[in-house]
Amino acid sequence: MRRTVPPVRTLLVAVLLAASLAVACRAAGPEPLRLNEDPCDFCRMTISDARFGGEAVTRAGRVYKFDSIECLAGWSRTVKDGAVAAMYVIDTQHPGVFVRADSAGFIKDGFMQSPMGKALVAFPSRKAALEQQTMLGGRVMTWAEVMADTTAPAPTVTK
């Protein structure tokens, strides 16, 4: 009698295959920003400062690059809910290093300027941002607060 493959095993193999395909199709994460080369996908400016910027990876695996946190936030308002798999921002103290936007901490209107005029910089966590606030001043925000604050690219207050 020919040995048949048990249905449970078949199922398991199928599930594993599907899972590995799904993993393979998914973008691994953010890509490096190529300075003085990549344009910002929101404001079109060429990205030139490694201390700022962000990326969004869509569920389809496409990577969008931004020169500033304000542009990432502005762009994310223009896309459909659920289209974005993850958003990342640059840790301003470690140029080129990305942290997830939803777990990052932000400082706005502190001592540091940012490329789109909102003086908005990111740190790996809210705690890290609070530690830097003593030196940089400004106000500490979460990603949700940054999103709520970003209604237009131009600042509303003139110093």
Partner 1 sequence: MTGRSVAIAIVASLAAYAAPLAAADLTVGAGGAYRTITSAVAAARDGDRIIINAGTWREATIVITAPNVTVEGRGWPVLDGQGARGVLIVAADDVTVRGLVVTNTGVSTLDDRAGIRVRDARRCLIEHNRVRDNLFGIYLQRSADCVVRDNDISAHGLSQTTSGNGIHLWYSPGARVENNHISGQRDGIYFEFSTGGVTTGNVSEHSQRYGLHFMFSDSCHYERNVFRENTSGVAVMYSHGVVISHNRFEHSWGAAAYGLLLKEILGGEIRGNTFTGNSTGLFIEGSSHLAIADNDFLQNGWAAKVLASAEDDHFTGNRFAGNAFDVSTNSRTANSTFDGNWWDAYRGYDLNRDGVGDVPFHPVRLFALIVEEHPASLVLLRSPMVGILDAAERVFPVLTPDALVDHHPLMRPPR
CB 87 within 8 A of CB 72: yes
Q: Which residues contact 21 (CB under 8 A, 6 or more apart)?
A: none
Given the rule CB under 8 A, which of 9-17, 32-40, 123-131, 138-146 is the region that contacts partner 1?
32-40
* 37 is a contact residue toward partner 1 (CB under 8 A): yes
48 touching partner 1, by CB under 8 A: yes
Shorter beta-carbon distance to partner 1: residue 26 or 95: 95
Residue whose pair of structure tokens reads 């490096």 in the numeric block = 32
Which runs of E-coded beta strand occur in 67-153? Answer: 84-90, 98-100, 105-108, 120-123, 139-141
Q: How many CB atoms lie within 10 A of CB 85?
A: 15
Tokens 């289209």 -> residue = 83
Question: Binding string, 76-115, against partner 1, x = CB under 8 A?
Answer: ----------------xx-xx---------------xx--
**Minimum CB distance to partner 1 smaller for 21 or for 79:** 79
Contact residues: partner 1, CB under 8 A: 35-39, 43-46, 48-51, 92-93, 95-96, 112-113, 116-117, 153-155, 158-159
